[in-house]
């Protein structure tokens, strides 16, 4: 079932939402059907449909927005490089750290999916692939396998929502790094690090929860 969903996810291109709404809607229907959940109006079906119809498009739209923001930050970074040349000739001084973080944050925002995939695999030994915002379908597949167990379904829905929050938090942290480089009067560095760490944990909420279980031997409803 999971392999079937993965094959559908690969064909789900978030740029279809701009070029052909009908094609994108058909792709979402195909993605929903690939989970194998029957349209019987059950709590399980509604939970899977909510992820497919709402969270998948939302996550993909966020990825597009982050790409645009990242590209803009890189362009500003190139402008900063030009200002550095002017500063060397006696012009206004520009912070080298600000220029550095413009490029770092821009590149990471533009390549958020592969970076988060590599980071998650390194920290939590997961097999998650954050491609085109469809990684959240991992939880739809698990809900499909959970049957009528409401506690598990609610747990996986919580993890799916935390993934959305984690993505936003991580992106917010990268943007705050630019403020750190600009020498903001606010305590931007602690905020940036907090958002980055919270984002990583949010995106990997389930493996992070399993790590906590291993340390505390606490039996949670979602395993």
Q: Could you write out the DSSP letters of every residue in 9-35?
A: HHT--TTHHHH-HHHHHHHHHHHHHHT
CB-facing half-sphere around the CA of 113: CA atoms within 13 A: 16
Distance, CA of 28 to CA of 36 (rounded, Å): 14
pLDDT, tens digit only, all 223 positions of the chain: 444 444 344 344 555 555 566 767 777 777 777 778 887 878 888 888 888 888 888 888 888 899 999 999 999 988 888 777 665 545 566 678 888 889 999 999 988 877 887 777 777 766 554 544 457 888 888 888 887 788 888 988 999 899 899 989 999 999 998 888 777 666 778 888 999 999 988 888 888 888 787 777 655 555 5
Distance, CA of 114 to CA of 100 (rounded, Å): 21
């Amino acid at each position: 079932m999971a392999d079937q969903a993965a094959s559908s996810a690969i064909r789900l291109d978030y740029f279809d939402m701009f070029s052909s709404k009908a094609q994108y809607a058909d792709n979402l229907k195909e993605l929903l059907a690939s989970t194998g959940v029957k349209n019987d109006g059950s709590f399980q079906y509604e939970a899977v449909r909510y992820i497919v119809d709402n969270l998948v498009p939302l996550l993909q739209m966020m990825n597009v927005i982050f790409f645009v923001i990242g590209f803009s930050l890189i362009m500003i970074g190139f402008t900063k490089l030009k200002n550095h040349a002017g500063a060397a000739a006696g012009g206004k001084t520009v912070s080298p750290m600000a220029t550095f973080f413009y490029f770092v944050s821009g590149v990471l925002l533009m390549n958020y999916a592969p970076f988060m995939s590599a980071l998650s695999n390194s920290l939590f030994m997961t097999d998650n692939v954050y491609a085109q915002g469809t990684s959240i379908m991992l939880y739809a597949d698990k809900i499909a396998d959970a049957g009528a167990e409401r506690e598990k379904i609610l747990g996986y829905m919580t993890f799916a929502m935390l993934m959305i929050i984690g993505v936003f938090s991580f992106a917010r942290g990268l943007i705050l790094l630019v403020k750190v480089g600009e020498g903001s009067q606010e305590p931007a560095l602690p905020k940036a690090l907090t958002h980055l760490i919270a984002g990583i944990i949010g995106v990997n909420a389930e493996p992070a929860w399993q790590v906590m279980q291993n340390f505390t031997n606490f039996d949670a409803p979602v395993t």
